[in-house]
C-alpha cells in the first residue's frame, strides 16, 4: 500500500475531530446532512487530510457542541496541519506531549530508539521513572504520580505487531538512577524483556569513545501507511521532524549506531556483568 503524505499534526487534528463527533452522539452521515456536505468531506477531515476552511471547522464543532477550549485547540492544530514538523511547547503540558507521542507509537509498525543517558522510557520500571521525575525541572511534584501512570500505560504498546529496536549507551546502564536497588531491578527488567522476539536491545559501549549518536537521543517511527517521523525531546519541548533532510540525517545516525553497537548477545552479557 502506498504511504500517505499525512503529517503528525494532521493526524492529531483528525483524531481530535473524530473524538468531537463521537462525543456529540451524531454519526458522520447525520452531521454531513446538517452541514449540507458530502459524507466523504467529513471522512477526509477525520483522517487529517483537510479539505475544509477554518469557518467550516468551527461550524462542524458548533454542531458537535464541542467545549470552547477544545475548539481552540483544534483550530490551532488545523492551522499547523500543513507544516512539516510539529513543535510542542511547555504550555501544551508534559502529559499532552507524551499523549501525542503515544498516539504516534500506536500507529507505528517499527520504533527505533537511541538514548545516551537514561534507560528508554518504554523499558523503564516505575521506581526508575520516579527517580528521574523527582529530579525534573519541568514537573510539579503533584503531577508526578499521574505522569508515571501515563508512562506505564504507554508500555502497553510493547506487544506483537510492532518491532522495537533500542540502542542504549553503556553509561545509561551504569548511571545509578534511584540507587543500587532501583538499578538492579531496572536492569533485571530489561533482561527479562529481551525474551520477547519483537524487541532488540543493543548497547553502544563506552570503550569505543566517540560514536554516531553524539548529537542527541531520538526516536524514529516507521509506519506502514505514512512516511517516517523523528521525535526529539528536551527539557521543555517535544519536536516531531518530517522533512526529508532530517529523516535522512537521523537514518544515517541509526546506521552508524548499528555499526557501533554490540550485538544482542554481547549486550545481554554486558547487562549480566553489571548485575553480577
CA 103 to chain centre: 7
What is the phi/psi pair of residue 78, to 5°?
Answer: -60, -40
Does residue 185 share a domain with residue 112?
yes
- CATH number, domain of 39, equals 1.10.260.40
Q: Domain range spanning residue 14?
A: 8-80
- CATH number, domain of 268, equals 3.30.870
Closest CA to 50 of 9, 21, 22, 87: 9
The yes-or-no verdict on residue 119 having pLDDT over 90 is: yes
Does residue 227 share a domain with residue 97?
yes
| Cβ 127 vs Cβ 241: under 8 Å | no
pTM: 0.77
Categorize the per-residue pLDDT at 82 as very low, low, confident or very high, splitting at 50, 70 and 90. Answer: low
Does residue 249 share a domain with residue 136?
yes
* Cα distance between residue 77 and residue 86, in whole Å: 10
Task: Provide the pLDDT for residue 7.
Answer: 81
Does residue 178 share a domain with residue 114?
yes
Strand partners, 58: none
Question: How would you list the strands of the sheet with 199-204, edge to edge?
Answer: 86-88, 238-241, 229-233, 218-222, 110-115, 163-169, 199-204
1 within domain boundaries: no
The yes-or-no verdict on residue 21 having pLDDT over 50 is: yes
- Position with higher pLDDT, 99 vs 158: 158
108 within domain boundaries: yes
Task: Provide the pLDDT for residue 269.
Answer: 96
Does residue 59 share a domain with residue 190?
no
Choose the final residue of a domain: 36, 65, 80: 80
Task: Provide the pLDDT for residue 220.
Answer: 97
Choose the final residue of a domain: 50, 80, 110: 80
| Cβ 36 vs Cβ 59: under 8 Å | no
75 within domain boundaries: yes
In Å, the largest CA–CA distance within the chain is 69
Does residue 124 share a domain with residue 14?
no
Cα–Cα distances (Å) from 267 to 116, 151, 200, in that order, read 15, 25, 10
Helices (H), ranges, 81-166: 94-107, 126-133, 144-154
- Position with higher pLDDT, 101 vs 235: 101
| Cβ 248 vs Cβ 235: under 8 Å | no
Structural domains in the chain (count): 2
Choose the final residue of a domain: 80, 101, 131: 80
Categorize the per-residue pLDDT at 10 as very low, low, confident or very high, splitting at 50, 70 and 90. Answer: confident
The yes-or-no verdict on residue 19 having pLDDT over 90 is: yes
Task: Provide the pLDDT for residue 239.
Answer: 84
Does residue 175 share a domain with residue 67?
no
Does residue 181 share a domain with residue 128?
yes
Task: Provide the pLDDT for residue 130.
Answer: 96
3 within domain boundaries: no
Ramachandran category for residue 44: left, alpha or beta (phi over 0 → left; psi -120 to 50 → alpha): alpha
What is the phi/psi pair of residue 115, to 5°?
Answer: -130, 140
DSSP letter at 174 equals H
Does residue 165 share a domain with residue 125?
yes
Amino acid at each position: 500500500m502506498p504511504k500517505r503524505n499525512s503529517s503528525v499534526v494532521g493526524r492529531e487534528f483528525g483524531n481530535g475531530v473524530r473524538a468531537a463527533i463521537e462525543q456529540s452522539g451524531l454519526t458522520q452521515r447525520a452531521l454531513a446532512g446538517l452541514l449540507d456536505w458530502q459524507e466523504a468531506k467529513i471522512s477526509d477531515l477525520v483522517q487529517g487530510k483537510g479539505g475544509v476552511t477554518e469557518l467550516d471547522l468551527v461550524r462542524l464543532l458548533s454542531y458537535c457542541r464541542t467545549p470552547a477550549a477544545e475548539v481552540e485547540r483544534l483550530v490551532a492544530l488545523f492551522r499547523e496541519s500543513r507544516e512539516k514538523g510539529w513543535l510542542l511547547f511547555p504550555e501544551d503540558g508534559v502529559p499532552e506531549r507524551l499523549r501525542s507521542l503515544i498516539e504516534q507509537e500506536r500507529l507505528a509498525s517499527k520504533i527505533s530508539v537511541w538514548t545516551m543517558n537514561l534507560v528508554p522510557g518504554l523499558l523503564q520500571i516505575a521506581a526508575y521513572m520516579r527517580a528521574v521525575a523527582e529530579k525534573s525541572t519541568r514537573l510539579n511534584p503533584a503531577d508526578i504520580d499521574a505522569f508515571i501512570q501515563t508512562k506505564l500505560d504507554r508500555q502497553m504498546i510493547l506487544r506483537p505487531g510492532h518491532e522495537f529496536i533500542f540502542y542504549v549507551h553503556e553509561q545509561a546502564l551504569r548511571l545509578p538512577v534511584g540507587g543500587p536497588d532501583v538499578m538492579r531491578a531496572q536492569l533485571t527488567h530489561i533482561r527479562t524483556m529481551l525474551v520477547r522476539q519483537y524487541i532488540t536491545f543493543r548497547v553502544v559501549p563506552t570503550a569505543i569513545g566517540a560514536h554516531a549518536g553524539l548529537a542527541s537521543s531520538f526516536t524514529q517511527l516507521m509506519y506502514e501507511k505514512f512516511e517516517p517521523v523523528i521525535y526529539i525531546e528536551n527539557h521543555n519541548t517535544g519536536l516531531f521532524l518530517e522533512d526529508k533532510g532530517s529523516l535522512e540525517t537521523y537514518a544515517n545516525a541509526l546506521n552508524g549506531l548499528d555499526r557501533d553497537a554490540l550485538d544482542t548477545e554481547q549486550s545481554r552479557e554486558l547487562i549480566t556483568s553489571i548485575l553480577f
